[in-house]
Structure 1
Amino acid sequence: MARNASQVPTDWVTRAADEAVRHAGEGKPVTCASGASPSGPVHLGNLREFLTVHFVADELRRRGVDVRHLHSWDDYDRFRKVPAGVPAEWADHIGRPLSAVPDPWECHTSWAEHYKAPLREALAEMGVEMVEVSQTEKYRAGTYRDQILLAIRERAQVETVLSRYRTKKGDDEAAEAEPAEDLSRFPYKPYCRGCGRDTVTLLSYDDATTDLAYRCQACGESHTTNVATQDEGKLVWKVDWPMRWAFEGVDFEPGGADHATPGSSYTVGKDVVKIFGATAPSFVAYGFVGFAGMQKMSSSAGGVPTAADALRILEPAILRWLYVRRAPKQTFDIDFGPEVVRLYDEWDALTKKAADPAKRDVAVLAWERAAATADTTLPTPTVRVPFRTLSSVADVTAGSADLISQVISHVGFPHASVSELEPRLAKAMQWTHEFVPAEERTTVREAPDADRLAALDEQESGWLRLLVDGLADFDGDLDQDEVTTLVYGVPKLARGFAVEEKPSDEVKADQKVFFKLLYNLLVDADRGPRLPTLIVALGAERVRRLLTP
């Protein structure tokens, strides 16, 4: 049965947006929230946090809903360990807020900012707009004082909720054995006033004065902080997250699949948030994103690819598409190897489909979400050249963008300037340079293979003469269509057929042998880029020189 052309397709974004509106209340502003700790490179797995929220907020924006994408940087989290490549003396900063740890590369004001900055740039390139919140700034400004005091006053109730979800036997026994006023599970933890670390043991808390006394295990100093007047710490994570849901009025927030398991942060938070007088936001769990073909992805610490890395070879719309075309719970890999060529082919085919309104379905809806936001269209080349063609020419020429542009014009894609090929041309050049293994690169011979040319049989010699003579007949620069006709036509001509005739089985067999011969003589391999493209890229004179004894 034919699909109703007027039917509007729906996807996971549609459903999540509907849930966010229901949580907020019809006609009310909607807050969609994301959060991340800038403790290291924000890799492509972490990117799912940002894009999941972006697509939902963007859908609401398209509907005319008053919506904000609120992103919390958990830069007030502790610095946990010194990664490879960082001086060992940075271990002295373990336990301090990420915002207080110096940038060892000295290019940003702090460890946290070092990892925020490149992610901001990548998100801007992908059309993601969000309101950023620094938890360091919020806590130190006293923004959450009332919420902190509430959590402390209701600490017995908080502990009742947290203990309900503990699964370790030791924790259960400790909960039963410990008196309620024990401070080992106090919902608030200060950073030491002396050394700035969170390595503190709480000694006492006075409900009347809100004085919290502690001793630092790292520096040995003892201090007292007044929770009502001094802002020197933060709530523990499983209280902090639901507190922010209530404070910011969050209506939708995703999380990794681990957050939705029994006893996890979201599960516990659904009960803790009630203490703050609110309800948990609508939630979707997202799955793992893996990586392949990224052996040379060296810009990130530990070789973990980031959005900035991916954008070196993928158009922004295509990177968005990888995330929006699958339901969040679906896991997937991003492959930076040969799969990139197939990915571009798939995107181009979908782009053609999307041009036909009668073919609008869920796949096209994903394309629409990836190709544009409610406010802007993502950059796309004016002249769309297949990625495999661009990368093949970049491989063969190993030249400048201008040289590649010249060849591309002669292989069937005329254009007025290099800019009409961007951003795809730059991506293809980068991919060819960085991700095509040396053994798979096309290396054009510097000089003719004298031994192989001397060993040509009569049939092979005849094929090469027909090709060289045919190239000499062309006026000026080579044309892709003419060269294609000639290359496929040589074995036909050798057997007395016209080039436009359908090849016989014998001709087809000859073509395979002839093509292998050309690859051997031009690039010292049995295969390579499409021969017409290769010949146009090399030019008639260079081909003639390599094929003539």
Structure 2
Amino acid sequence: MSEAPQNAPLDDWVTRLADEAVAFAEKNDTPVKVASGISPSGPIHLGNLREVMVPHLVADELRRRGRTVEHIISWDDFDRFRKVPKVEGVDSSWDQHIGKPLTRVPAPHGSDAENWAEHFRRELEGALADLGVEYTGISQTRMYTSGAYIDRVLHAMAERNRIDRILERYRTLDRGESAPEENSQEAQDASDATSGAAEDADGSGDSGYYPYKPYCSACGTDFTTVTAYDDASTELRYTCRCGHEETVLLREHVNGKLVWKVDWPMRWAFEKVTFEPSGVDHQSPGSSFAVGKDVAPIFGWRRPLGPMYAFVGIRGMAKMSSSKGGVPTAAIALRYLEPPLLRWLYGRKKPNQSFDVALDGELPRTYDEWDALTRKVGGEKAQPGDIAARARAASVLDTATGTVRELPLTPRTMPYRTLASVVDITTGDDEQTLRILGALEPDDELAGLDPLRPRLDRATAWVNEQMPAEERTVVRAEPDIELLASLGDFEREGLRLLLDGSGTPAPEGLGRLEDDWTLAGITHQVYGVAKVQRGLGADQIVKGDKELGAAQRAFFVLLYRLLVGSDTGPRLPTLLLAVGAERVRALVEPGA
């Protein structure tokens, strides 16, 4: 069982925010309740995941302290469908649904979900289960259409003039010189990060200010304008772009919602939220979080503690937007990263620090860093912060049992890049993979591949789905006769040393390649050739010899060309071990 992180240093951001969350809740004489808001308007990308992981890590820290904390996720599925994203199974016919609630838009072709919102929500729900995130999900469609908010909607309409005056102060600020220009990078980043709610109209119009937006009962969209409202009878009249006009009783109307800058603070009060982070787009001057400070008291509540979180990017890709196709989601990331590693990436950076998730060729480095942390925590010099970081990543406090639950991790760890190289070379053949990986650590017998899972499965998926075709390793079927014939005496001697040795046994010299067919033995052989050719011992440690370094690189390039027809490839010792001694000899034998 992982050690609970109660002893993390005071400058640890999770500990600090947990302390602040408790202080805020106690000051307001209410339990700690943390919240996230997710709009399933398209693929819910890794930037949106920070909306969930920041409050989750704070809640988990407090649960480990023995506190009762509820984490709610509001599924903003009653939001309007703003634009058609470029995702699989969707075409231009979805344009007709713009302006409808997300739960009344058809799911993409081929999906068995009942609607658009459910399709994209379900993918994240599966990922959150894998990540160990415990929460209570709240559908805003269900809340509005059930009438749960009717009293608060009526209250907002009764206080519309007061709300309008508050918003006018911020509208003036938005029109001021301090607002970012429309085409600035700051504005573009904010636009890309948001689901769109932050950009919603605030309810103002030519006929007056009304914070309620009905969905048209004829065409189903929110291209509607409230033209009149009577406080005594609650009669509300609206017109729609489609030409429909209607008068409804607001006290009975459940086919509409408050505008975002009023809806959000209303829900803070309804749910009694005390902690909810939000992105840059919601915290700029005049935005919903800033406005909420003054609107929340109208509903009898205070704006919760709300740290701002920065962007999460993908290495080698532009800023993510859920309205654009091909954006990495948590489910996609978990195809290549074990859940504790993805949790760790979100836990090791302060919320206001941006970071990248590497799913490209840098992904193995993430595993290397995680393995280094694991070794450090297992040693005697681990700092409290290291112990806390790994514990938060690798385990969660299960409220059902009151105990710390470990998340699945690979029992026997091998470097991710090694696993990926072997899978690449063997094209995923289990028998060959086991043969090669078993030879890597001959003193620790590997009877099967299960101890290497799920890391091996993640590496396999990464090789098959993320590795560019030009970087795949394809071992030659036949020797490169032309290249072998062109070699000079020095290169031929190097190849003979590799295969047949120097006549002097290891470690000073080189034996036959097959004599020590282990990763260590092959490494000694490959790196020893250039040394022996310079009159040095094969195991001699040489530092700063540029000529030796150049000779080794030239020999490595020659081997790569003979084996895989390229100047580079997987680590040579691993490659040779994978190819096998007989085939290596057939491909690099210099001949007479």
Letter of the aligned partner of 1:268 in structure 2? V
Instruction: Identify the residue that residue 78 of structure 1 maps to in structure 2.
Output: 80
Once the two structures are superposed, the pairs formed by residues 349-360 of structure 1 within 5 Å of their partners are 349-356=372-379, 358-360=381-383
Q: Do structure 1's residue 370 and structure 2's residue 393 form an aligned pair?
A: yes
Question: CA 1:170/1:440 → structure 2, altered by over 3 Å: closer, same or farther?
Answer: closer
Instruction: Identify the residue that residue 109 of structure 2 maps to in structure 1.
Output: 105
Instruction: Identify the residue that residue 370 of structure 2 maps to in structure 1.
Output: 347
Distance 2:349 2:575 in 1: 37
CA contact (8 A) 1:81 1:91 kept: yes
Q: Do structure 1's residue 224 and structure 2's residue 228 form an aligned pair?
A: no
CA contact (8 A) 2:41 2:323 kept: no
Deviation of the 1:500 alpha carbon: 4.3
Aligned residue for 1:45, secondary structure, equals helix
Query: Which structure 1 residue ranges, 5 or more long, are not aligned?
Result: 1-5, 172-179
Kindly tell me the number of residue pairs found equivalent between the two proteins.
532
Instruction: Identify the residue that residue 440 of structure 2 maps to in structure 1.
Output: 411
Q: Do structure 1's residue 454 and structure 2's residue 485 form an aligned pair?
A: yes
Instruction: Identify the residue that residue 425 of structure 1 maps to in structure 2.
Output: 456
Deviations along 1:422-468, whole A, 9 cap, x unmatched? 12112222222333333333221111011222233334333333433
Aligned residue for 1:58, secondary structure, equals helix
Question: CA 1:515/1:89 → structure 2, altered by over 3 Å: closer, same or farther?
Answer: closer
Distance 1:433 1:294 in 2: 20
Aligned residue for 2:79, secondary structure, equals coil
CA contact (8 A) 2:43 2:327 kept: yes
CA contact (8 A) 1:24 1:251 kept: yes
Once the two structures are superposed, the pairs formed by residues 97-496 of structure 1 within 5 Å of their partners are 97-107=101-111, 108-167=113-172, 183-218=207-242, 220-293=243-316, 302-356=325-379, 358-375=381-398, 376-412=405-441, 414-469=445-500, 474=514, 478-491=517-530
Distance 1:181 1:290 in 2: 37
Letter of the aligned partner of 1:90 in structure 2? W
Letter of the aligned partner of 1:411 in structure 2? L
Question: CA 1:280/1:391 → structure 2, altered by over 3 Å: closer, same or farther?
Answer: same
Instruction: Identify the residue that residue 31 of structure 1 maps to in structure 2.
Output: 33
Instruction: Identify the residue that residue 66 of structure 2 maps to in structure 1.
Output: 64
Aligned residue for 1:313, secondary structure, equals coil
Instruction: Identify the residue that residue 90 of structure 1 maps to in structure 2.
Output: 94
Deviation of the 1:528 alpha carbon: 2.1
Which is worse superposed, 378-387 or 64-73? 378-387
Question: CA 1:275/1:540 → structure 2, altered by over 3 Å: closer, same or farther?
Answer: same
Instruction: Identify the residue that residue 529 of structure 1 maps to in structure 2.
Output: 570
Distance 1:487 1:169 in 2: 66
Question: CA 1:140/1:312 → structure 2, altered by over 3 Å: closer, same or farther?
Answer: same
Deviation of the 1:88 alpha carbon: 2.2
Distance 1:401 1:146 in 2: 62
Letter of the aligned partner of 2:98 in structure 1? I
CA contact (8 A) 1:53 1:253 kept: yes
Letter of the aligned partner of 1:452 in structure 2? L
Letter of the aligned partner of 1:521 in structure 2? L
Distance 2:364 2:412 in 1: 17
Letter of the aligned partner of 2:426 in structure 1? T
Letter of the aligned partner of 1:389 in structure 2? T
Deviation of the 1:370 alpha carbon: 1.6
Letter of the aligned partner of 2:232 in structure 1? A
Aligned residue for 1:269, secondary structure, equals helix
Letter of the aligned partner of 2:247 in structure 1? T
Instruction: Identify the residue that residue 3 of structure 1 maps to in structure 2.
Output: none
Deviation of the 1:512 alpha carbon: 3.8
Distance 1:208 1:300 in 2: 42
Deviation of the 1:285 alpha carbon: 0.4
Distance 2:130 2:86 in 1: 29
Distance 1:7 1:214 in 2: 58
Deviation of the 1:120 alpha carbon: 0.9
Instruction: Identify the residue that residue 514 of structure 1 maps to in structure 2.
Output: 555
CA contact (8 A) 1:472 1:540 kept: no
Letter of the aligned partner of 2:423 in structure 1? A
Question: CA 1:414/1:229 → structure 2, altered by over 3 Å: closer, same or farther?
Answer: same
Aligned residue for 1:69, secondary structure, equals strand
Instruction: Identify the residue that residue 174 of structure 1 maps to in structure 2.
Output: none
Distance 2:540 2:455 in 1: 37
Aligned residue for 2:168, secondary structure, equals helix
CA contact (8 A) 1:28 1:66 kept: no
Deviations along 1:391-418, whole A, 9 cap, x unmatched? 2212222232443232111112643321
Deviations along 1:359-390, whole A, 9 cap, x unmatched? 22434432322222223222211111111111
Instruction: Identify the residue that residue 175 of structure 1 maps to in structure 2.
Output: none
CA contact (8 A) 2:166 2:295 kept: yes
Aligned residue for 1:201, secondary structure, equals strand
Aligned residue for 2:208, secondary structure, equals helix
Distance 1:433 1:102 in 2: 32
Distance 1:222 1:515 in 2: 78
Distance 2:471 2:270 in 1: 55
Letter of the aligned partner of 1:537 in structure 2? A
Aligned residue for 1:302, secondary structure, equals coil
Deviations along 1:155-178, whole A, 9 cap, x unmatched? 22221211121127889xxxxxxx
Instruction: Identify the residue that residue 176 of structure 1 maps to in structure 2.
Output: none
Question: CA 1:258/1:84 → structure 2, altered by over 3 Å: closer, same or farther?
Answer: closer
Deviation of the 1:13 alpha carbon: 1.2
Distance 1:408 1:201 in 2: 67
Give the TM-score, by structure 2 length.
Answer: 0.83
Instruction: Identify the residue that residue 22 of structure 1 maps to in structure 2.
Output: 23
Letter of the aligned partner of 2:248 in structure 1? T
Distance 1:142 1:333 in 2: 42
Distance 2:352 2:522 in 1: 49
Distance 1:300 1:82 in 2: 7
Letter of the aligned partner of 1:444 in structure 2? V
Question: CA 1:509/1:210 → structure 2, altered by over 3 Å: closer, same or farther?
Answer: closer
Distance 1:293 1:459 in 2: 41
Deviations along 1:319-365, whole A, 9 cap, x unmatched? 12221111111112223222212222111111111223542243443
Letter of the aligned partner of 1:115 in structure 2? F
CA contact (8 A) 1:402 1:418 kept: no
Deviations along 1:190-234, whole A, 9 cap, x unmatched? 11122221122223222221121222222x222222121231211
Deviation of the 1:251 alpha carbon: 0.7
Distance 2:323 2:291 in 1: 34
Give the TM-score, by structure 1 length.
Answer: 0.90
Distance 2:104 2:586 in 1: 65
Distance 1:359 1:481 in 2: 29
Instruction: Identify the residue that residue 14 of structure 2 maps to in structure 1.
Output: 13
Aligned residue for 1:84, secondary structure, equals coil
CA contact (8 A) 1:29 1:65 kept: no
Distance 1:453 1:300 in 2: 54
